[in-house]
Amino acid sequence: MAAWTNLREPHGTYVMGILNVTPDSFSDGGSWLDLDAAVARGYRLMNQGADIIDVGGESTRPGAAPLSSREEWDRIGAVVRSLSQAGIPVSVDTYHAHTARLAVEAGAAIINDVTGGAGDPSMFSTVAGLRCLYVLQHTRGMPQNMNTLASYSCVPDEVATELSDSITRALGAGISRDRIIVDPGFGFAKDADHNWDLAAHMEAVEALGQPILVGVSRKRFLADVASGPSPAARDDATAALTSYFASRGVWGVRVHEVAASKAAVLTAEKLREAGAFEKAGATPGADSSDCPHD
């Protein structure tokens, strides 16, 4: 846990490997439902270079059916415990406060809440009493209706404002600021153009002053540049965006296939050591302060 408690220390971008213990995730649903297969997948992601394994038991793709906390924990509990006991830093992808508590008690270091606290009114107070990091993501609504809420006049500014409001509520519930990581929520209540716009203009989110986790891996908007129709065909585009976000200094990237994104992170770090990204405007978009639609 100590490696994850002080987010202000200089570091490179962490790579979070995705482990979906679900039958219906958009990319790899059903692949890792068996305990042995899921644990083996976690070790494979670590061997590829992952720093953290993000375990999820409920699909959050648009239109996905919700699970109860009990159903969710029945899927992921043994996996979380097994990986944590092996000394692997584990994040748990959940919006259920009860699951969050069980996960931290089982050894998880991070709670990754795609609803930013809106999915369970007890989440903020529960996390406030736990010794863990908390990923607070931007979205609108829930997976069942979020696509109907994808309406913006200025995506980057509105995302940052809504994240700021969520941070304020989290702080008010007792979560300390140095435990909060923000995620701008690519693919959540955003269409393809919204996602590209947000990626190109991250300044407002960066100005919040919180560590940033980015999850673009295999998202539908990458089909614009992918080599084929399957979600896995978007891995190259994912790695390209990992390089871009690492050059911006994000705290972490959440990816399905780790090796290429780890290489992208290490490449960005070598470039930074050699003096890249230091001059004003060298970071992509650094001189953009106004909404691109103004």
- Which residues have a catalytic role annotated? 219, 254
Residues 6+ apart with CB under 8 A from 236: 226, 227, 260
Cα dist from 264 to 10, 60, 181, 197, whole Å = 18, 26, 21, 22
Query: β-strand 180-183 against 52-56: which pairing, if any?
Result: unpaired
Q: Are the C-beta atoms of residues 80 and 92 closer than 8 Å to each other?
A: yes
